[in-house]
Amino acid sequence: MVLSHYNSLPIHLSHGAFVTSESLFSLNFSSNFAMTPSLNCNNIIMNGNRNNRRIRNGSSHISHINAVKVDQSLVSEDDEDFVLPSKDFAAQANVQSHQQYLEMYKRSIEDPSGFWSDIASEFYWKQKWGDKVYDENLDIRKGKIKIEWFKGGITNMCYNCLDRNIEAGLGDKIAIYWEGNEPGLDGSLTYSQLRDQVSQVANYLKDIGVKKGDTVIIYMPMLMELPITMLACARIGAIHSVVFAGFSAEALTQRIVDCKPKVVVSCNAVKRGSKTIHLKDIVDAAINDSAQNGVSVDVSLVYENPVALKRVDTKWKEGRDIWWQDVIPSYSTNCPVEWVDAEDPLFILYTSGSTGKPKGVVHTTGGYMVYTATTFKYAFDYKPSDIYWCTADCGWITGHSYITYGPMLNGASVLVYEGTPNYPDAGRCWDIVDKYKVTIFYTAPTLVRSLMRDGDEYVTRYSRKSLRVLGSVGEPINPSAWRWFYDVVGDSKCPISDTWWQTESGGFMITPLPGTWPQKPGSATFPFFGVQTAIVDEKGVELEGECSGYLCVKSSWPGAFRTLYGDHERYETTYFKPFANYYFSGDGCKRDKDGYYWLTGRVDDVINVSGHRIGTAEVESALVSHPKCAEAAVVGVEHEVKGQGIYAFVTLVDGVPYSQELRKELILAVRQQIGAFAAPDKIHWAPSLPKTRSGKIIRRVLRKIASKQVDELGDTSTLADPNVINQLIELADS
C-alpha cells in the first residue's frame, strides 16, 4: 500500500517520549492543532532552525512547534509548507483523520466488492446485480480489455438523482439555483419542479421517436435546460452527448457524424459577457455539413433565449426546427423511467485525440453513478446544508460528474452560472458567492490565476464568509496560485480539494479529503478509495517511494470509462497497450518523500532537453512563483544543440512593464527552483494567452507561434478572444 511505509516513522517529543506517527493523532500539542497519522514529521521544524518554515493551522500561521523535535539533517532546503485543517473542521468532516482514511482505503483495495457494494446499496436498484460485483481484464496480452461493475443490476440515473430524493422528503429543496449572465437575472427549481420539467422533455423525446440506446446531442449554454435535457435522456435510457457550446461548426459536425443523433437540442443564442454568440447558426452549419457526410438530422429542438436573441431574428428551417417553448410545456409532467442495466451507456463525451479525431468516451450507468456520488460526498466533505458551485460547463466531464450527477445523487443544491467569471468585473464570482451563500466553490487554476492577476481588492470587497471548502480542477495548480486561493479567497480557513482526474476516469482519482490530512500547496495528495495508483518508468517497472515517472492505475474502479465509441481498438491501444496490465493516464507524476502525489502534466507536454525530461507544468509553476508573473504557458521547440528548447509565454501582473531585467529574473527563478537545465531559452511576453471559453489554454496554437508556423494555426474558432493571436505574433521578437 502506498502509504504504509509512513506509519512507523519515529518522532522525538520535547519531554523525551518516543512514538510512531501512528499515535501522533492522539497527542495534544501546545500549538492547538492535531497531527494526522502518517505525516512525516521530518518536515516540522523548531523555531531557530536555518530552514525554519511556517506550518499553517486554520487561519493562523504557526512558525514554531515547541512540542516537536526532529533531526535537522533530514530537512531539505526546498520542503513545502504543510497546511493543516482546523480542529473544528476536522471534527465535523466526513473523514476525520488520516487513520480513518487508511482503514477505508485498505478495505476498498482488499475487498473492492464489499466496499463498493455497501455504497451501491444506498441507491435504488430495480434489480440487484449478480454474484460478481465487478469483472475486469486490463492486460491486453490476455485478450480484449473489459471493465464491468454491477452488471445485471437494473437501475436508472435520473430516478436516483430526482425521484429517490423527492421520496426522501427533499421535493421542496432547491435543486438548481441559476444565475444569468446579466446581474439580477436568476431563477431556481426545486427537486419536484425539476422532475416535472425533466419529465416533459423526456415525454417529448419519446414522442418524436427517441428510445433507449438512441443518441441525443445537446449543444447549449449554461441554462437550466442543459442539465434538464441530460436528465431527460437518462430518464428514458437515451444516450446524451453534450458538446461544449463554444466548439465550432466543424467540431460539432465531427460529433454528429460519429454518433448519429436522433435530435440536436440547442439554443438560438447566448450572451457571454457583452458578446452575443449565435449558437443556432453554428448548429445549422453543422447539420448541413453532416448531411453532406451522409448523416441527416431530422429534428433540431431550439430553446429561445430572448435575452440574447429574439425569436423573430433567428434563422429558421420549417419542418426541421422546433421551438422548445412551443412544445415542451404541453407535455405531461409524469414520465415513467426506463430501467437500464448498470452497464448500459449513459453518455458519450468527446475529448481531444492526438490524431485530430475526437475520442468518444463512453460512460455507463451503474458504476459511474456510484463513483461520482461517492467522490462528490467525500472530496468536498458535502453536507445537506451546502450550496455548491462549480464554474465548469456541462460540455466537459466536470459538468457531467460535478454539476449534474454527483451533486444531485447526494440531494445537493447546485448553482449554475450562465456567464463569464469576470463580467461585468473581476468581482462577479464573489458577488455570486455572497448572493447565494455558496459554501463549496470548485473552479480551474486558470481562473484562479486570472483573478489573482486582477488584484485582491476584487475579492476582499465581498464577505465570502459562507465559503468552507474550495476546489481546483483541470490542470495542476501551481503553489503560488494555491496559496492565493487559500489565503485571499478562503481567508486561510477553507481546505482546497485539488483534484486530479480525467474525462476517462469519470470522477476524482487523486484528491485531498478536507479535514483529513495536511495539504501541500500544489499537490493532489493521495489516491481516492478504490484507486490503486502506480508510478512506472519507461519500461513499465513500478517505482517505490520517492520517484517520478508515468502515472498508471493497477485495476479498475467503478467510474472508469468502458470504451471509445465505435473504436474499441483505439481504446485498448491508447490506454492499455503502453504498459501491460495497467491503465495509462497519459500524465507524468512524482511522489515525494512523504507519499504526496504531484502531477507534472501530460506526458506529451514533457520537453526533452539534452536528455532531461522536463514537465511543462514544473517550469510554469516556477515562473508563476515570481511576484510579477501572473500566468505562464511553456511549450517545446526544436533546438539544434539540445534537441528541444524551452519556450515560455509569460503574462505579467497588470501594470508591470516588460523589461530585459525581468526576463533575467524569471529565468533565474526557474534555475533556482528546478535547475539550470530547465531554464527557458525564450521568454515571450503575452498580454494574455489563447484560451477556450472554459479557460483551457490552447497549447497547439502556442507551439505554432513559437515555431514561427503562424500560417498553420488550424481551427481557432473555440478561442474566447481571437485577437490574442495577433498580439502574440506582434510580440514574438520583442
Active site residues: 604
Kindly write down the DSSP assignment for every residue of 139-199, as one continuous string. -GGGSS-EEEESTT-EE-HHIIIIIHHIIIIITTSEEEEEE-SSTT-EEEEEHHHHHHHHH
Query: Is 543 within 8 Å of 533 (Cβ atoms)?
Result: no
Q: Which SS3 state, helix, strand or coil, does residue 20 take?
A: strand
How far apart CA 514 and CA 520 sit, in angstroms, is 13
193 CB-contact burial (10 Å; exposed 0-12 / middle 13-18 / buried 19+): middle
How far apart CA 81 and CA 94 sit, in angstroms, is 24
> Any idea what the Cα angle at residue 451 is, between residues 62 and 667, rounded to 5°?
75
- Name residues whose C-beta falls within 8 Å of residue 459's C-beta, 6 or more positions apart in sequence: 427, 430, 451, 488, 489
Q: Which SS3 state, helix, strand or coil, does residue 687 take?
A: coil
Query: Is 448 within 8 Å of 488 (Cβ atoms)?
Result: no
- Name residues whose C-beta falls within 8 Å of residue 226's C-beta, 6 or more positions apart in sequence: 218, 220, 242, 394, 416
How far apart CA 30 and CA 221 sit, in angstroms, is 52
Query: Is 206 within 8 Å of 402 (Cβ atoms)?
Result: no
Q: How many helices (H) and strands (E) does the chain have?
A: 22, 36
- Nine-digit cell at 557? 474502479
Number of neighbouring beta carbons within 10 Å of residue 481: 27
Peptide bond into 680 cis (omega under 30): no
Q: Which residue, among 101, 131, 184, 703, has the nearest Cα to 378 in the 3D structure?
A: 101
